[in-house]
A and B are shown apart, each in its own frame.
Chain A
């Protein structure tokens, strides 16, 4: 399986920031419109992080004009230019699908407040 790793290593991104389900993130994607190419930003809560290696993906959910919108991105796709973590959420589950059934205040995820002041970059 050594050669499989060679194939994967070529395409794996090395600069993916650490993030977890429950975090508020901003995903910058390249969008092609006719001949033009522009960057689109999708901001929302990570409700799932799936699979691993080259196939890893994340699902981001946001409420847009009162309607829930979810998008799944392959993390290692060259179309994803940037991924930034804005807030760390305090959750107790790996998959936050229950949020789909909640509304208003119930659907809100509390921000994680740690006793120690640790900058997110220094972690891990």
Chain B
């Protein structure tokens, strides 16, 4: 079974659940994705299918890409990603994949490009508190000493310093699916996901171990692999 889908972040809002409680959700337009190609164990040493999402104008394609689409007789897409799956044979090139691979209550990981914050200082980027603004303080938003003189006399690895913040690929893990609208290709995911509105994202079934009793019971009935045995340490 395929474990992921490509989509576009629409924005955040809040909805009421069955009990009338307000749930914060991100609205995502996910799919329909087109199968563009297959990777076979025999030829490529791994099994996967290539999925495409969105539209792209033909004039914006280079010759190499244009050839690829004409050969496969497909429309150009905005984004292409590979998803590993063992059941490659069950998919055909050109086949549409929709949201029905997910169910309400499932947990997913969402990958996207986070919002770019530019070149940020240590207060914004690393959470340093900074110094006093007034009373002759000459230490405002600086990082301060980074290596001392005699010991350790070098800069420790992982020390927070100014630099580019955001605009990197990030994954938010274990988010619950609140609702699925198959007709409009809309999926509601509980909580926030990386990136701007209109940003392209990838949704995958979660890699995180599911500990919640209800989830474990549900996962057991569908797929044994999803459930990790709880460690004995935590039980004691």
Contact = CB atoms under 8 A, between A and B. Distances in A.
B181 A6 contact: yes
Nearest to A74: B22
A112 interface: no
Interface of B: 10-11, 13-16, 18-20, 22, 27, 29, 181, 184, 186, 188
Nearest to A80: B20
A4 B13 CA distance: 8
Interface in A66-87: 74, 76-79
Nearest to B18: A78
A93 interface: no
B11 A11 contact: no
A3 B186 contact: yes
Given A3-B186, A78-B20, 19 more contacts: A1-B10, A3-B29, A4-B11, A4-B13, A6-B184, A6-B186, A7-B13, A7-B15, A7-B188, A30-B20, A54-B13, A55-B14, A74-B16, A74-B22, A76-B16, A77-B16, A77-B22, A78-B16, A79-B19
A79 B20 contact: yes
Contacts, number: 40
Nearest to A79: B20
Interface majority SS (helix, strand, loop, mixed), chain A: helix
Contact of B27 (A4, A11, A74, A79): A4
A8 interface: yes
A79 B18 CA distance: 9
B22 A3 contact: no
